[in-house]
Amino acid sequence: MSLPHHVDALVVGGGAAGLAAATWLGRYQRTTLVVDDDGHRNRCTARVRGYLTRDPVTPQEFLTEARGGLQQYPTVTLHDGRVTAVRAVGDDGFAATVDGTEVFTRRIVLATGVRDVVPDVEGFAEHYGQDVYHCPACDGQEARGRRVVVLGAGRHVPAFAAELLDWAEGVCIVTDRDDPPFTVAQRDTCAEHEVGIVDGRPVALVGDPGQLQGVRLQAGGIVSGSIVFFSYGHDPGNDLARELGCDLDEDGHVRVNEFQLTSVAGVYAAGDLTPGMQLVPVAAGEGTIAGIGCATSLRGHRTVSGDGAVAPPVRRFTDR
């Protein structure tokens, strides 16, 4: 499939946020190119949970249906590939390099998500999505009545582990790094709530996928548990946002306003790339806001194909 040379909007990322943005850009009849590199955060998980009317659904089913829904909008094009560079062109446009081809666009929606830092333990890939998870809100219910082992590092881990007390029979943290260390107060609070802490390096998951028995330590011994959650941090996919000069918070997430507009006029961001709760329903909602904000900011501009009437100008635009 040949890429269009000019579009009204470029959506980078084809997860919940990006596809929601593209849906609404399509409904506003704006020529839109969605570029997706299949690097979705939840591609290894078994189910997407808590999504209204689709609880549960596999990530592949969710994305297939969302992509299929875009077929009713002839102005939207899906491309499996990668955006490797982007730059501003003049006062009202951008040039993006998509798999070596330059595409010009008036607006950009960044929905590039985050990449989790995963534990370096034997068997992780085989267990991930079956009895190893990264999100208590998403998968905490799977821990109900079970003993949970939390693998992680950093001062956020005790609070992360404490979330699982809503479901689990017991929780034990295994940590082998002190960057930064847990405080005395954190250790005391964990002890008060019977959250165990084992200072040691995890090296392997014990048991077959779906039948986890525990986590083996380098020093010997096994910390028992039938389900694992991990939290070593995650890296926002903010390379393009940095190239464009978007403001970032202290964790590298892209700052946005109530319309999902970044600090750079014409550039929107949605989903896990932005600050706040990281859930599929939230990402879809933010993508919807970004798509509508992006589309309405183009009122008074003819589509790049030249088709259709020029929309009447409005007094209030979502661009700064």
> What would the two tokens of residue 23 be?
């849906």
Residue 43 confidence (pLDDT): 79
Report CA torsion sign: 143, 54, 282, 42.
Answer: positive
d(CA 174, CA 202): 7
Q: Which amino acid is at 122?
A: E
Beta-carbon-side half-sphere exposure of residue 21 (alpha carbons within 13 Å): 39
Q: List the chain pLDDT tens, one digit each, 320 residues.
A: 689 999 999 999 999 999 999 999 999 999 999 999 998 888 778 888 999 999 999 999 999 999 999 999 999 999 999 999 999 998 889 999 999 999 999 999 999 999 999 999 999 999 999 999 999 999 999 999 999 999 999 999 999 999 999 999 999 999 997 778 899 999 999 999 999 999 999 999 999 999 999 999 999 999 999 999 999 999 999 999 999 999 999 999 999 999 999 999 999 999 999 999 999 999 999 999 999 999 999 998 888 874 443 444 444 444 44
Residue 191 confidence (pLDDT): 96
d(CA 211, CA 208): 5
Residue 47 confidence (pLDDT): 86
Query: What does each C-alpha distance from 25 to 29, 260, 280, 291, 301 come to in angstroms?
Result: 6, 14, 19, 5, 14
Beta strands per DSSP E along the chain? 6-12, 32-36, 76-80, 83-88, 94-98, 101-110, 114-116, 132-133, 147-152, 170-175, 195-199, 202-206, 214-217, 222-224, 227-231, 234-236, 267-269
Domains in the chain, start-ordered, CATH in brackets?
6-115+234-296 (3.50.50.60), 118-231 (3.50.50.60)
Pairing of strands 94-98, 101-110: antiparallel
d(CA 154, CA 179): 6
CB 227 within 8 A of CB 133: yes
Q: What is the pTM of this model?
A: 0.92
d(CA 99, CA 272): 24
Task: Give the residue carrying structure tokens 């829904």.
Answer: 69
